[in-house]
A and B are shown apart, each in its own frame.
Chain A
């Protein structure tokens, strides 16, 4: 017969759960695992191509894009797709990892700050005895003829000469205890670097929510474009000048002469915009991004009134790689094709453009083809009741326009992180505990390195020991291996 014990159900209180989460987020091991996971995800993101927003917006286009990926990834494509690896940076699990990182940084900063405000009692008590010091990684025992008071003063002087500050000095029945530190702002710098990183992540997220961008605003020479987003800003491209290297097929420079208008009033005139020289105005920055061909076109209606007279950026390509542009007029849609740029086009001849004219009803997007004409430069042609004049070939300037109010905070966080990091690694924390006690003849001074820091610890500790030995006029010392060294100074 067996007796069944009814165990009471294990209940975890909310406090236990909070403690568990706190330990998880503040644990260095969990941080290392999380950082490794994030690193692995980023490697995947670097190696696996991303589907663009345009591709993802159409199911058919996305499926065609996935088919192309099969050439490289084969049968793994559905798995990679299911894991969200073709759109990694927008996947829920990647965002979750980023959130974990931000929370983890926040918890670390809070815990460290709290510990600085309420330090644990007793952490500064230097209680090392000579016998115990021999088992510590870095320690030294010195003897001196001086009494305890003088020896303690000499030890203090030696520590100070090595750049140490005396954090705590206590005199008791067992002697004098000193706690000395160097680079004591190390911990604060470490917290600052984590705080900077957390701030940077938060600012980046805020910037995503509150900012806007126009990544591909193509403006033909002599044309203007509204920047939108309630900014009241518009840009007019007065001129665009690319220059090319003579011996290689690459641009040397490209410059846009533009005028920025606020509510129709020019606020920056003839600004020369270059790749590394953006224009900033009221938090909006305009960058030179790309360029391409355009045409200057005049369209007249049946009554002779001008319906359109400015440049048209040919930002697209037709299946035969011809530059193409689309423009809309009330009731019409025009598709304009220019000759291929490599000079091999036998269909659309140099000096001409091919224009397809569509009649578009209010509810339509494609429209009904009215006709197709080849317009020769400078010669008006009639089509669908309109008169089309291809005036000349020009170019368009591609602008990247952005407004991100959180950017200064991102740089603030980045600066804090970098400065904190530099301090942490360039000026590592050092701690030495000293105990001075009477030994019948004079005094014994025991030194122990407070924290185990790998790089240069031995040399650093030896330097401190040498300085104190000199001040003490000490005779012998015992290092961590129990090895005794005669310094040649009288005992």
Chain B
């Protein structure tokens, strides 16, 4: 039994490295594609009557194929780790970082093809690779969960919802960044031709928040429920709880800005960027928060 668990852990590690390598190649490929489009856009591609920035070109099939391959390797890694640990792979910061990268990629791949705009692929890949690199700095040994975490159902639901929300927030963040870049870069620049339509990016960001906002709400409520079972208090103003609530409120503010036409566009996009900063703070907070989530360790046991 022990040797099977060790073998699975090795498979998980192998999948992790394979995913990192393939996604690195995908990033390279998508950048080359982007640069090529820019050169083409700057020289030969015609402008549309309503402005050059409306050009929308799907990412190269090579890059997308590599993303699928990297995602498959990472899925294998996550599945093997789940089997090796005998629980959902969310019990420490390493596992959470890898799962976060997985949901970022899943969110990207689940997008309808017409919404996979150029510029999105390298940005999403950079983010996923950044998370995998961050995970490589953390202890990766499979450790048994402390008694408070020994609730598989709620561990899976609570952290699973958080991961879906984080992944969607990442997509919204990339869309907002591209939206802001679209607004900043002058029309004469070749890059404007490469960047997708601002309206499309705005819709993409909003669509991602439509997923992340209720999921983050579910994360908070499931966490509160779990806290009330394990510790007898549904709300303790724990730093991680507070940071998650802060993140949720930033996205709530974003949704309210969309009601007002004056605040749509740049203001909304800035809030999406701010929301993702809050997401990252919440995610990495285990490094310095302490409190009820301090067991989600960042040091060797």
Q: Which residues of A contact B (CB under 8 A)?
A: 28-29, 31-33, 35-36, 38-40, 42-43, 45-47, 50, 89, 204, 213, 215, 245, 248-254, 274-276, 278, 285-289, 400-402, 407, 410-411, 414, 417-418, 421-422, 425, 428, 454-456
Between-chain CB contacts (< 8 Å), 26 pairs: A28-B257, A29-B257, A32-B257, A35-B250, A36-B249, A38-B249, A39-B245, A42-B243, A42-B246, A43-B246, A45-B237, A46-B239, A46-B240, A47-B239, A249-B301, A252-B144, A275-B150, A278-B232, A287-B232, A401-B232, A402-B232, A414-B224, A418-B217, A418-B221, A422-B214, A425-B211
A422 to B211, CA, bound (A): 9
Q: What per-residue 1/0 map shows which CB atoms of B241-260 lie under 8 Å from chain A?
A: 01101110110111011111
Provided the pairs A32-B256, A249-B301 are in contact, do residues A285 and B242 lie with their beta carbons within 8 angstroms? no
Q: How far is the CB of B231 from chain A (nearest CB, A)?
A: 6
A251 to B147, CA, bound (A): 7
Known: A39-B246, A215-B232, A286-B232. 14 other contacts (CB 8 A): A36-B253, A45-B239, A46-B246, A249-B301, A252-B144, A254-B147, A275-B147, A287-B232, A288-B147, A400-B233, A402-B233, A428-B210, A454-B207, A456-B207
Closest residue of chain B to A38 (Cβ to Cβ) is B249
B143 near A42 with CB under 8 A, answer no
B252 near A35 with CB under 8 A, answer yes
A194 to B259, CA, bound (A): 16
A39 near B203 with CB under 8 A, answer no
Interface pairs A-B: 5 shortest CB-CB: A42-B246, A39-B249, A287-B232, A32-B256, A35-B253
A108 to B281, CA, bound (A): 31
A249 to B300, CA, bound (A): 11
A299 to B231, CA, bound (A): 35
The listed residue with most B CB atoms (<10 A of its CB), out of A47, A204, A407, A428, is A47
Does chain A have a CB within 8 A of B148?
A: yes
Q: How far is the CB of B282 from chain A (nearest CB, A)?
A: 8
A414 to B245, CA, bound (A): 14
Q: How large is the interface on B (under 10, 10 to 19, 20 to 34, 35 or more residues)?
A: 35 or more
A32 surroundings in chain B (CB, below 8 A): 253-254, 256-257, 260, 263
A35 near B263 with CB under 8 A, answer no
Does chain A have a CB within 8 A of B225?
A: yes
Does chain A have a CB within 8 A of B146?
A: yes
A29 near B235 with CB under 8 A, answer no
B108 surroundings in chain A (CB, below 8 A): none
Provided the pairs A36-B250, A275-B230, A278-B229 are in contact, do residues A89 and B237 lie with their beta carbons within 8 angstroms? yes
B147 near A455 with CB under 8 A, answer no
Q: How far is the CB of A312 from chain B (nearest CB, A)?
A: 24
Interchain pairs with CB closer than 8 A, number: 139
A252 to B202, CA, bound (A): 48
B213 near A253 with CB under 8 A, answer no
Provided the pairs A275-B150, A276-B148 are in contact, do residues A421 and B263 lie with their beta carbons within 8 angstroms? no
Task: Give the secondary structure class of B's interface.
Answer: helix
B245 near A42 with CB under 8 A, answer yes
B14 surroundings in chain A (CB, below 8 A): none
Provided the pairs A36-B253, A248-B301, A278-B232 are in contact, do residues A46 and B281 lie with their beta carbons within 8 angstroms? yes
Q: How far is the CB of A325 from chain B (nearest CB, A)?
A: 24
B218 surroundings in chain A (CB, below 8 A): 418
A250 to B242, CA, bound (A): 27
A89 to B246, CA, bound (A): 13
A421 near B217 with CB under 8 A, answer yes
A204 to B258, CA, bound (A): 30
Does chain A have a CB within 8 A of B151?
A: yes
A42 to B235, CA, bound (A): 14
A245 to B146, CA, bound (A): 10
Q: How far is the CB of A65 from chain B (nearest CB, A)?
A: 15
A410 surroundings in chain B (CB, below 8 A): 234
B256 surroundings in chain A (CB, below 8 A): 28-29, 31-32, 35
Closest residue of chain B to A36 (Cβ to Cβ) is B253
Does chain A have a CB within 8 A of B17?
A: no
Does chain A have a CB within 8 A of B31?
A: no
Closest residue of chain B to A40 (Cβ to Cβ) is B246
Provided the pairs A43-B278, A276-B230 are in contact, do residues A252 and B147 lie with their beta carbons within 8 angstroms? yes
Provided the pairs A36-B253, A278-B229 are in contact, do residues A28 and B221 lie with their beta carbons within 8 angstroms? no
B147 near A418 with CB under 8 A, answer no
B150 surroundings in chain A (CB, below 8 A): 253, 275-276
Q: How far is the CB of B274 from chain A (nearest CB, A)?
A: 8
A402 to B231, CA, bound (A): 10
A418 to B213, CA, bound (A): 10
Q: How far is the CB of B242 from chain A (nearest CB, A)?
A: 4
Q: How far is the CB of A93 from chain B (nearest CB, A)?
A: 16
A213 near B246 with CB under 8 A, answer no
A276 near B229 with CB under 8 A, answer yes
A12 to B198, CA, bound (A): 45
Does chain A have a CB within 8 A of B285?
A: yes
A31 surroundings in chain B (CB, below 8 A): 253, 256
Q: How far is the CB of A355 from chain B (nearest CB, A)?
A: 33
A33 to B281, CA, bound (A): 21
The listed residue with most A CB atoms (<10 A of its CB), out of B150, B228, B247, B249, is B249
A456 to B213, CA, bound (A): 18
Q: What per-residue 1/0 map shows which CB atoms of B104-125 lie under 8 Å from chain A?
A: 0000000000000000000000
The listed residue with most B CB atoms (<10 A of its CB), out of A28, A35, A411, is A35
B232 near A454 with CB under 8 A, answer no
Q: How far is the CB of B298 from chain A (nearest CB, A)?
A: 15
A43 near B243 with CB under 8 A, answer yes
Does chain A have a CB within 8 A of B68?
A: no
Does chain A have a CB within 8 A of B100?
A: no
B243 near A287 with CB under 8 A, answer no
A35 surroundings in chain B (CB, below 8 A): 249-250, 252-253, 256
Closest residue of chain B to A423 (Cβ to Cβ) is B214
Residue in contact with B146 in the complex, picked from A39, A213, A251, A274, CB distance below 8 Å: A251
A77 to B224, CA, bound (A): 32
B231 near A411 with CB under 8 A, answer no
Q: How far is the CB of A189 from chain B (nearest CB, A)?
A: 11
A89 surroundings in chain B (CB, below 8 A): 237
B202 near A43 with CB under 8 A, answer no
Provided the pairs A39-B253, A43-B243 are in contact, do residues A250 and B278 lie with their beta carbons within 8 angstroms? no
Q: What per-residue 1/0 map shows which CB atoms of B196-229 lie under 8 Å from chain A?
A: 0000001100110011011001100100110011
Residue in contact with B232 in the complex, picked from A204, A285, A425, CB distance below 8 Å: A285
A252 surroundings in chain B (CB, below 8 A): 144, 147
A50 surroundings in chain B (CB, below 8 A): 237
The listed residue with most A CB atoms (<10 A of its CB), out of B214, B224, B229, is B214
A20 to B254, CA, bound (A): 24
Residue in contact with A455 in the complex, picked from B206, B213, B254, CB distance below 8 Å: B206
A425 near B214 with CB under 8 A, answer yes
A431 to B213, CA, bound (A): 24
